[in-house]
A and B are shown apart, each in its own frame.
Chain A
Amino acid sequence: MTTGEQHASLEQERITQGQQGQIRTAGGEKGNRLLGLPLHYLLIAPTFLIVFGLLVYPLGYAIVLSTSNKILTGSVPFKWVGLDNYLDLLALESEMWTSVGVTLRFALVGVLLEFIIGLSLALLLNREFRGRTWLRVGLLVPLMVPPLASGLIWRIIYDDEFGVFPHLIRTVGANPPIFLGDPDWALYAVVATEVWRSSPFMVLVLLAALQAQPVETIEAAEVDGASGWQVFRLITLPFITPVIIVALLFRTVDALRTFDLIFLLTAGGPGTTTEVISMFIYRWGFRHFKLGFTSAASILLMIATLIICIFYLRMLVVRQAEVQLTQE
């Protein structure tokens, strides 16, 4: 085939594929195979091999383990217990519900605060003022602090003897609680740390969405006499909603997996007042070594995470369908 013919056939292939609404994968068929195998399968094979070996297979293993009474060390003989672990976990008096409650409070309060702070600061940074660029770059710093280190930093800030935060409260004449040791305060002290570290994520992502907004639409609305609030509610907010949903999804699943921060700040205490679900699994697996029971808890956590993901993704799909309808 001459180059010209080849080019023509490429064109042809692109056109037919374009008609089918597919990704344009133009190219000589020859180049799409290597050693007689389809190239795309070869390219994804390594990734999915190790994903299978280290995620899918262990998950199957966990499901099997969850129906046993396996204990890492100890004299209890191994036996299959069917769904007993699940029934124990889901029983009304189970400790798991305490952890679920703590996790939900941690995630809801945290993500809500992050969203409010994030949206306000994103709107602020979307305006012109002196030092705007510096502030935007500066927000990266807390975001880069690993949860572990942020736990350590806030421990010396909260310390009831030499910590600077209780000291500041004392200087204004009030009596500070023992932030990390008081059952009423500990969870919110942890949430504050998480908000400090993670709200820049919301700020930066929402700011990116705000800046992608075409200026013309806003100007047109202003010419038509819309107030600032109307512009925000009717034009800006619908425009950034998909990004808001994505950002909330990421922050929610990250809040549900929180481990490092709590491990360092309170280790779940005092009592179990800050024991999020990850700490609960860690305690039963690596303090009490009840691996069967812990596997059952892991599977339940997996199912809960899936449900939350589906909830957000459906919101995203519904939202996009609405946009398409209004455009038609």
Chain B
Amino acid sequence: MRTNNLKRIRNVAMFFVVAAVWIFYFFPIYWMLTSSFKTRVDTFAIPPKWVFWPTLQFYLSSFTNPKFLKVIQNSLIITGTTVFLSLVLGAWAAYAFARFRFKGSLTLSFSLIVARMMPPIVFIVPLYLLFNMLKLRNTHIGLILIFTVFNLPFTVWMLKSFFEEVPIELEEAAWIDGASRLQALGRVILPLIAPGLAATAVFAALLAWNEFLFALLLGGPDTTTLPVFLSGFLGERDVEWGDIMATATVAVLPPTLLVMLVQQNLIKGLTLGAVKG
């Protein structure tokens, strides 16, 4: 009888703890979503409204606004190209680090980790001057290059950890059958680590999609990405929160859904392959 009571108390306590965790992590998301469906009057209502008549006006106005569509297009082009480049270059380097031991290989691979640890703001002044000189400011290619450079340490280390999991015997078998090293890489190894490639791509996409500092300072009116567009709302005299929250929802949803798809390799993605999950 007593143990039963104890168990019940424990269950109730557990329920409250879990509920508190849900509220802490989800309330802000819930508030973002609902605010994007609230009319201006409802947003500014005091006290805040919990029940309201939803409106789609902000999504409709966003998706019919050519400026917003251009921003989405910029974000997609820049993210897509960045992911492609950092995956291809990253896979080459990762394969070299995983399968060859050569002079300086350790130093070089660890220098990439150091690059990942550096605060991006350290590079902003020289890059700003460099980009001005090379006429790379306010160009897609400029942002793509800089996002790729900041993605590469991550993709190299992540892919390296996947390559190292493939037994070398599989590769040897392909060589014996007459494949060259690169053929074996393309036809045997890469298909084997496809899930790892997908996870790496998703995380690389996330970084490019969310990047703000360089997009703000090295980009310009022709390259406005979603985060820069979002930050621009606050400069306006009349802050339209419905618009902001609708845009924020559009910015947050695609990456979240993508990450849900590659959950298996999530922990590796969060730690450059340092921790297996």
Contacts and interface: CB of A to CB of B under 8 A. Distances in A.
A291 B217 CA distance: 14
B26 A285 contact: no
A139 B256 CA distance: 11
A305 B25 CA distance: 30
B213 A260 contact: yes
Interface string B119-152: 1111111111110000000000000011011001
Interface string A79-90: 000000000000
Contacts of B53: none
What DSSP secondary structure best describes chain B's contact surface? helix
B59 interface: no
B101 A23 contact: yes
B152 A149 contact: no
Nearest to B92: A43
A112 to B, nearest CB: 17
Interface stretch (B44-52, B64-72, B188-196): B44-52
A153 B118 contact: no
A40 B22 contact: no
A298 B125 contact: yes
Given A6-B176, A47-B92, A152 B230 contact: yes
Given A47-B93, A257-B120, A259-B213, A25 B101 contact: yes
Interface in B156-180: 156, 168, 171-172, 175-176, 180
Nearest to B142: A54
A47 B90 contact: yes
B49 to A, nearest CB: 10
B274 interface: yes
Given A26-B172, A62-B123, A162-B45, A140 B234 contact: no
A41 B36 CA distance: 51
Interface residues of A, number: 99
A237 B271 CA distance: 19
Contact of A140 (B24, B156, B175, B260): B260
A301 B120 CA distance: 10
Given A140-B266, A142-B29, A164 B102 contact: no
B122 A246 contact: no
A162 B44 contact: yes
B32 interface: yes
A168 B259 CA distance: 33
A61 B25 contact: no
Interface stretch (A178-186, A201-209, A220-228, A319-327): A201-209
Contacts of A121: 21
B25 A141 contact: yes
Contacts of B176: 3, 6-7, 10
B210 interface: yes
A239 interface: no
A224 to B, nearest CB: 24
A124 interface: yes
Contacts of A309: 114, 117
A277 to B, nearest CB: 8
B213 A58 contact: no
A141 B21 CA distance: 13
A156 interface: yes
B37 interface: no
Interface string A1-14: 00100110010000
Nearest to B43: A162
A144 B29 CA distance: 11
Interface string A225-269: 000000000000000000100110110010011011001100000
B277 A208 contact: yes
A58 B121 CA distance: 12
Given A148-B230, A204-B266, A141 B29 contact: yes
Contact of A200 (B25, B102, B127, B260): B25
Contacts of B17: 124
A128 B102 CA distance: 47
A58 B48 contact: no
A176 to B, nearest CB: 13
Contact of B181 (A32, A59, A150, A157): A32
B22 A148 contact: no
Contacts of A271: none
A22 interface: yes
B156 to A, nearest CB: 7
Contacts of B267: 204-205, 208
Contacts of A37: none
B274 to A, nearest CB: 5
Interface in B214-248: 217, 227, 230-231, 234, 241, 244-245, 248
3 closest Cβ pairs, A-B complex: A208-B277, A257-B119, A58-B126
12 contacts: A32-B181, A44-B92, A51-B112, A51-B115, A59-B122, A124-B18, A145-B256, A157-B31, A167-B46, A260-B227, A302-B122, A305-B122
Interface of B: 14, 17-18, 21-22, 24-26, 28-29, 31-32, 35, 43-48, 89-90, 92-93, 95-102, 105, 108, 112, 114-115, 117-130, 145-146, 148-149, 152, 156, 168, 171-172, 175-176, 180-182, 206, 209-210, 212-213, 217, 227, 230-231, 234, 241, 244-245, 248, 251-252, 255-256, 259-260, 263, 266-267, 270-271, 274-277
Given A51-B152, A246-B275, A305-B118, 7 more contacts: A32-B100, A57-B130, A61-B130, A138-B22, A150-B28, A157-B31, A162-B44
